[in-house]
Structure 1
Amino acid sequence: MTRPFRRPFRTAAVIGAGTIGLSWTALFAAHGLTVRVSDPRPDLAEAVDEALARYTPHLAARGLDVTGLADRVRLAPEVTEAVRDVDVVQENGPERVEFKKELFATLAREAPADALLLSSSSAIPSSAFTQELSDEDAARVLIGHPFNPPHLIPLVEVVPGERSGEQAVRAAVDFYTSVGRTPVVERKEIPGFVGNRLQNALSREAAYLVQEGVVTPEDLDKVMTNSLGLRWATVGPFLGAHLGGGPGGYRHLVEHIGRSMQRTGAQLGTPAQQEDEQERLIRAVEKAYGSSTYSELAETRDRRQLAVLAALDSADKEEN
Structure 2
Amino acid sequence: MPELSVDAIKGRPVAVLGGGVLGRRIACTWAAAGWTVHVRDPSPEQRNAAIHYVEQNVASYAKTISCSNPGKAIAFEDLEPAVKDAWTVIEAVPEKLQIKIDTFGDLAKMTKKDCLLASNSSSYKSGEMLEKVDDETKKRVLNTHYMMPPDNRIVELMTDGFTDESVFPFYVERLKECGMSPIVAKKESTGFVFNRIWAAIKRECLTVLSEGVSTPEELDRVWVEMFSGGKAGPCAMMDAVGLDTVVFIEQHYVKERGLPTRDTVDYLESNYIGKGALGGKSGKGGLYPAGYTTKSSEEESSHHDNLHSPTLYYLDLGMNADKDPLHAGKIVAQSASSTEPKTLITGLTLPDGLDISLKDNRIYWTNMGIPPQNDGSIQSCKLDGSDIKEIVKKGDVHTPKQLIVDQENNKLYFCDREGLRVMRCNLDGSEQEVLVQRGDWTVKEESQDNMRWCVGISVDTQRGYFYWTQKGTSKGGKGRIFRAKLEMLSGEDATSRSDIETILTGLPEPIDLEIDMEAGMLYWTDRGDPPMGNTINSIDLTNLTHVEDASDNPKYNVLARNMHEAIGLKLDSRNQHIYATDMGGFVYRFDLDGQNKKRIVDSDQRSFSGITLAHV
Q: What TM-score comes out, normalization by structure 1 length?
A: 0.72
Give the match's secondary structure for 1:166. coil
Q: Which amino acid aligns with 1:301?
A: S
Distance 1:139 1:232, change over 3 A: farther
Distance 1:288 1:66, change over 3 A: farther
Which structure exhibits the higher relative contact order, with contacts defined as CA atoms closer than 8 Å and separated by 6 or more residues?
A: 1
Distance 1:223 1:87, change over 3 A: same
Residue in 1 aligned with 2:498? none
Aligned mate of 2:15, from 13, 19, 26: 13
CA contact (8 A) 1:156 1:183 kept: yes
CA contact (8 A) 2:89 2:118 kept: yes
Distance 1:274 1:143, change over 3 A: closer
- Deviation at residue 302 of structure 1 after TM alignment: 3.9
Residue in 2 aligned with 1:301? 302
Q: For 2:177 and 2:152, locate their aligned partners in 1 and report how far apart those are by CA, in whole Å.
A: 15
Distance 1:102 1:207, change over 3 A: same
- Deviation at residue 224 of structure 1 after TM alignment: 1.3
Give the match's secondary structure for 1:210. helix
Distance 1:127 1:53, change over 3 A: same
Distance 1:61 1:291, change over 3 A: farther
CA contact (8 A) 2:224 2:231 kept: no
Residue in 1 aligned with 2:215? 216
Residue in 2 aligned with 1:168? 167
Unaligned runs of 5+ in 1: 234-268, 306-320
Q: Which amino acid aligns with 2:223?
A: M
Q: Which amino acid aligns with 1:87?
A: W
CA contact (8 A) 1:272 1:278 kept: no
Q: Which has the larger radius of gyration?
A: 2
CA contact (8 A) 1:118 1:144 kept: yes
Q: Which amino acid aligns with 1:207?
A: L
What does 1:91-240 correspond to in 2, within 5 Å? 91-147=91-147, 149-228=148-227, 230=229
Q: Kindly tell me the number of residue pairs found equivalent between the two proteins.
A: 266
More deviation in 271-280 or 31-40? 271-280
Aligned mate of 1:279, from 265, 271, 290: 271
Q: What TM-score comes out, normalization by structure 2 length?
A: 0.39
Q: For 1:101 and 1:203, locate their aligned partners in 2 and report how far apart those are by CA, in whole Å.
A: 28
Identity, in percent, stands at 27
Distance 1:297 1:163, change over 3 A: farther
* Greater helix proportion: 1
Residue in 1 aligned with 2:36? 34
CA contact (8 A) 1:30 1:64 kept: no
- Deviation at residue 197 of structure 1 after TM alignment: 1.6
What does 1:256-267 correspond to in 2, within 5 Å? none
Q: Which amino acid aligns with 1:115?
A: C
Q: Which amino acid aligns with 2:95?
A: E
Deviations 1:98-124 (A, max 9, x none): 211111111121111111111101121
Distance 1:122 1:4, change over 3 A: same
Unaligned runs of 5+ in 2: 233-260, 280-284, 307-616
- Deviation at residue 205 of structure 1 after TM alignment: 1.0
Q: Which amino acid aligns with 2:159?
A: P
Q: State the Cα RMSD in Å.
A: 3.4
- Deviation at residue 44 of structure 1 after TM alignment: 3.4
CA contact (8 A) 1:155 1:182 kept: yes
CA contact (8 A) 1:13 1:37 kept: yes
- Deviation at residue 203 of structure 1 after TM alignment: 0.7
Q: Which amino acid aligns with 1:271?
A: D
